[in-house]
Amino acid sequence: MWRRFAHLSLSISRTKLQSLVRDPTVLKLINTFSSDAGNDGVASSRKPFITFVLGGPGSGKGTQCEKIASIFGFAHLSAGELLREEMSSPSENGELIRNVIKEGKIVPSAITISLIKRAINSATSDKILIDGFPRSEENRIAFEKIIGVEPDLVIFFECPEEEMVKRILGRNQGRIDDNMETIRKRLKVFEDLNMPVVEHYSSKGKVHKITATGTVDEIFERVRQVFASLRYLKACLSF
């Protein structure tokens, strides 16, 4: 399986996505990333242990990912951050992504996945946390088809809606969408799109649900127990 992972290619998506997406800007973006991503694979000696980290807005998954990365030596990859970094770059790819978003379109899964792949290639750790991805079944299917593997582990932070609303309102980060109406909408979108992904991996026994209430340290203790209980990790990774 890992040999297959070592020679991944994103060339699969170009023809198929072109038949699905007709917008010239989006097509140019897909072509650019497909070409770039096909040129370099994950080194054959590497055997990444991939963990998806999922949870609603305000569930605290970003904070917990930072602690997991620090304590257990994982590389923390945030799909949203990778897109924002690419958007802010002066590169042609960044400009194309900005144009897609400016026009109210959704960045195709193949592009986000190509950024994740690039980040995996440059990571110094073979233990990878992918934070906030996949966001939907379409994302999940595209990741598995393009990358050629499933995650080894899925962490899902379960948090009551009222607690997530409270945390988002308390962030005070100046986000224009952090008001009650839009927060409720974001949570509904998360439930509609993300929960099928959680259910899919639950059926395969890959999901560990974490109760995301209490202090940061209390929540992390639950997370720590999950990783500590995975004895096979200790046999094949340097925990």
107 in a known ligand binding site: yes
Taken in order 81, 85, 128, 143, the sign of the CA dihedral is positive
94 in a known ligand binding site: no
Count other Cβ atoms within 10 Å, centred on residue 54: 24
Distance CA 86, CA 119 (A): 12
214 in a known ligand binding site: yes
175 in a known ligand binding site: yes
The DSSP annotation for 177-225 comes to T-SHHHHHHHHHHHHHHHHHHHHHHHTTT-EEEEE--S-HHHHHHHHHH
61 in a known ligand binding site: yes
Distance CA 77, CA 133 (A): 9
3-state secondary structure of 10: coil
32 in a known ligand binding site: no
62 in a known ligand binding site: yes
Complete edge-to-edge strand list for the sheet that includes strand 207-211:
75-78, 127-131, 49-55, 153-158, 207-211
224 in a known ligand binding site: no
Count other Cβ atoms within 10 Å, centred on residue 10: 22
105 in a known ligand binding site: yes
133 in a known ligand binding site: yes
Rg (CA), the chain: 18
127 in a known ligand binding site: no
168 in a known ligand binding site: no
121 in a known ligand binding site: no
What are the structure tokens assigned to 189, written together? 């979108």
- Contact 53/61 with Cβ under 8 angstroms? yes
63 in a known ligand binding site: yes
90 in a known ligand binding site: no
Binding-site residue ranges: 58-63, 84, 105-107, 132-135, 139, 171, 175, 186, 214
Binding-site residue ranges for ATP: 58-63, 171, 214
Binding-site residue ranges for a ribonucleoside 5'-phosphate: 84, 105-107, 132-135, 175, 186
Binding-site residue ranges for CMP: 139
